[in-house]
Structure formats: structure tokens, C-alpha cells
Chain A
């Protein structure tokens, strides 16, 4: 049993690694090719980064929807909410200011 669960867990790490590597390679390839228009590549980068962060949380940090992890999942989601408010707000406020300061 121990060996079997061990192997299963090993497989999860391998899957996580493969997914993360793919999600890294795609945006790097997009930028390196230099042929993709800037606004499209921006979206690709953002989407891949978001997905990869989720992959890391799921496969390396073992956060999922099971009951025992509910508290920590809530913690992470709450932090991400505050992060969005604070970082997003900062960018919004300062962009708004610099737009109004343009001559």
C-alpha cells in the first residue's frame, strides 16, 4: 500500500512538472518568435501564468477542494482577493493619475 500510494504521488509530481513546463514553454515561445502581435501575446502570457500558478498550487503545494484543506483554501483565496484589490487598485489609481497628467 505504501509503495503504491508513493508511486501515485510520484506520478502527480511528474504530471505537475510536465504541465508547468508546458505552460512555461508556450509564452516563452510566443515571445521568442516575435511574430505574435503584442496584445495577443500579452493575453497568452497572462493566461499561462494564471494556469501555471494554479498547477503549482494543485500539484506542488497540494491545495484542493477536499474538506481538510478548506481553511487553507479559503486563506489563499482571501489573500488573492486582497492582492487583487491592493495591486489592481494601485495600478488603477496610478494609471488614472498619469493619464490625467499627460500634456
Chain B
């Protein structure tokens, strides 16, 4: 196997990071396993949400049509998808050790924050409209599912900020590179979960 052959899914660091490339295999596999466990967690919450999305679960309270905005959902989706793409560009910059790495990471961070801002605005609006989790089983499920994803994104943003500091302080050491590789998995994974959120919650609710 040549050195450039990919050893695992996700970002492969390749010949520019010989040590990190080998070390990474174990870490990446472990992180994949963690993500799959997380996937099950999301699946459970999705299933709960689905089972409460009916008149019985809504208990005479607001329904999706009363509280969701398709425009806002579309904007959030677009921002998150774009951030996935910019993280992809950051990954390439990391792999080929290009100076644009920090710029792309910063752009991704800003997009993540923008996404969180929009989501927060929607949630505040819902509270103002009386669509609080205490109102019905369906709203309880919504308030766990969407903020759970939001919390993950917030954690990802914090991680991104820390990594920006570390790249500046330490440069691209083995540890920093492997962490960036795992962060990229995390970020892309959150975007996959978001596909479920906008399909089930927003599109499913408004169709």
C-alpha cells in the first residue's frame, strides 16, 4: 500500500503528515463508533418525535403549520450545507498544508454561528407564540430534538474555536491534525442529521 492510499473514511491526512496518518487510524475508527452511537441517540429522539406528531400528541395545542416557517428552515439548511462545503475546503487545505486553512475554518465557524442565531431566533419566536414545551407532548419532543442538534452544533463551534487557537499556537502537529480530522467527521455528521431534521420536522410538518 502506498502512503497516499486512504486508510479510513473521512479526511485522510496522507503524505504531508506521515506520523499523523498512521496514528489517525485508531482515533478515527473510535470516533466513527462514537458517531454511530450518537446516531442511535438521534434516532430514538426522532422516533419519539414521530410517535407524538399526531392530534393526540398535540393535545389541542399548536400544530406544525402554526409555528414553523419554511423560509427560515430553508435558510438554516442552506447555511449548514454551505458550512459543510467550506469545512471540506478546510480539510483539503489541511491535507495539502495550504495557508488558507485558518481562513476556511473561520468561515465555517461564522456559518455555524449564523445557523445557531437563526435557530435561536425561531425558538424565541415560538416561546412568544406560546408554543412552549409544556404545552403538549409533540412540542416537548420538538424542543428536545431540534435543540439537541443545536447543542451539537454549538459544541462543534466551541471545538472549532479551540482548534483555531491550537493551530495558531502549536502549528499543524500530529495531535492538531488528527483532531481537525475528527472535527471534520463531526461537522459533516451533524449535517447528515440535519437532513433528517428538516425532512421530518419542517418539510414533513408543512407538507
Contact = CB atoms under 8 A, between A and B. Distances in A.
Interface residues of A, number: 51
Interface in B99-156: none
B81 A87 contact: no
Given A56-B191, A86-B40, A45 B88 contact: no
B192 A53 contact: yes
B47 to A, nearest CB: 4
B199 A27 contact: yes
B195 interface: yes
B43 A83 contact: yes
A79 B206 CA distance: 29
Contacts of A95: 51
Interface string A37-73: 0100110011011001100110011111010110111
The size class of the interface chain B forms with chain A is 35 or more
Given A13-B89, A83-B39, A94 B192 contact: no
B27 interface: no
B169 interface: no
Interface of B: 1, 4-12, 29, 32-33, 36, 39-40, 43-44, 46-48, 50-51, 54, 56, 70, 73-74, 77-78, 81, 84-85, 88-89, 92, 95-96, 185, 188-189, 191-192, 195-196, 198-199, 203-204, 206-207
